[in-house]
Homo-oligomer: A and B are copies of this chain.
């Protein structure tokens, strides 16, 4: 157990600031939380379905995902989590995990015990509200994915996801201009989009051929934001950000 190194809890603060106003006292209370930092390699379970975790985990660095395995072995990824997210905040209220949480890339994670989390929420109701709000935004993102999977074409869904990740990463300062790291294989994208690898691959080919994006060795560049947004029917309001996303020229 160690005290938060500044750059570590900083991630959570930056994230919370992107969705809600945080006072200095609240910030101090967060920084004072005892956390345990753990480094995991890629494709490790953070919490498995059926477990009863005793702490919540904050993603400091890396990508994680929420998933469920079907009886036939196929997988559905239900969310991607980026630095600043607390993917299992829900375990504070729902004791048994109804899905798994895993790293997608090597990750640095900060664990905060439920006990400390409860204490923080009681002492600082603004933080409790912010966290509740965070879980609600998480659902909103899930609903948007549901619409995509249920009603949008392979192309539209894929474009939508690329837009969403750009905006979310930008909100926590992880984009470079119109470019960002997308450390996901096409199989993982497919599992998230409800598509086969082949389908994902073909859509990406098309988007590249139309000079809408560039994607190689894990880096995406949005060459034509307008076109990508249109292709993905993307409207960021469901992300409930405090300030609208920006797209430099």
Chain A contacts to B: CB under 8 angstroms: 66, 68, 70-71, 74, 76, 78, 90, 93-94, 96, 98-99, 122, 125, 128-129, 132-133, 135-140, 142-147, 149-152, 193-194, 233, 237-238, 240
Once the chains bind, are B149 and A139 in contact (CB under 8 Å)?
Answer: no
Once the chains bind, are B233 and A139 in contact (CB under 8 Å)?
Answer: no
Once the chains bind, are B138 and A135 in contact (CB under 8 Å)?
Answer: no
Least CB distance from A55 to B in Å reads: 17
Once the chains bind, are B71 and A233 in contact (CB under 8 Å)?
Answer: yes
State the majority secondary structure of interface residues on A: helix
> Can you list 28 A-B pairs, Cβ within 8 angstroms, ordered by A?
A66-B143, A68-B143, A68-B147, A70-B151, A71-B233, A78-B146, A78-B147, A90-B136, A90-B139, A90-B140, A93-B129, A93-B132, A93-B136, A98-B143, A98-B144, A98-B237, A98-B238, A98-B240, A99-B143, A128-B128, A132-B132, A135-B136, A138-B139, A142-B142, A142-B143, A142-B146, A145-B146, A146-B146
Given A133-B93, A152-B70, A233-B71, verify A98-B140 contact (CB < 8 Å): yes
The 5 closest A-B pairs by CB, nearest first: A150-B194, A139-B139, A93-B133, A98-B238, A149-B150
Q: Which residue of B lies closest to A79 (CB)?
A: B143
Copies in the complex: 2
Once the chains bind, are A149 and B152 in contact (CB under 8 Å)?
Answer: no
User: Which B residues lie within 8 Å of A99 (CB)?
Assistant: 143, 238
Least CB distance from A4 to B in Å reads: 25
- Which of B125, B142, B147 is A139 in contact with, Cβ under 8 Å? B142
Once the chains bind, are A146 and B76 in contact (CB under 8 Å)?
Answer: yes
